[in-house]
Structure 1
Amino acid sequence: MKIGIIVGVLIAAVFAAVVTTGTVAKVVTDHTQAQMGGITNVSCDAAIGPTLPGQGDRGASDAQKLDEEQRGIVALIVDIGKKRSLSPRAWQVAIQAGMTESKLRNLVYGDRDSLGIFQMRPSMGWGTVAQVTDPPYQVNKFFDVLLAVPDWENMRPGDAAQRVERSGFPDRYHNWEPMAATLVQNVGQVVDAVGCGQTVGSVVPPSQAAAQAIKFALAEQGKPYVWGATGPNSYDCSGLMLRAYESAGIILPRVSRDQYKAGGMLPVRQAQPGDLLFLATVPSNPATIHHVMMYLGEGKIVEAQQTGVPVHIRDFSFDESEVVAQAVRPGV
Structure 2
Amino acid sequence: MNPVTRALRPLRLLLPFLVIGLALVLFLTVGFLAFSPNLAQKKAPVSGCDTGISTATAGPGGGGATLETLTDEQRQNANAIISVAKDMGLPPKAWLVALATAMQESTLRNINHGDRDSLGLFQQRPSQGWGTPAQITDPAYSTRIFLDRLQEIPGWEQMPVTVAAQTVQRSAFPDAYAKWEGLAAGLVKTVGDVANPTGCAPGTTGALPPGASGAAIGFALREVGKPYVWGATGPDAYDCSGLMLRAFQAAGLTLPRVSQDQYNAGGHVPVRQMQPGDLFFYASDRTDPATIHHVAMYLGDDKMVEAPNKDNPVRVQPMPWTYGELVPLATRPGTTPNPA
- The TM-score, its normalising length taken from structure 1, stands at 0.50
Structure with the higher helix share, 1 or 2:
2
- The TM-score, its normalising length taken from structure 2, stands at 0.49
Select the structure with the greater relative contact order (CA < 8 A; seq sep ≥ 6): 1
Compare CA radii of gyration and give the structure with the larger one. Answer: 2
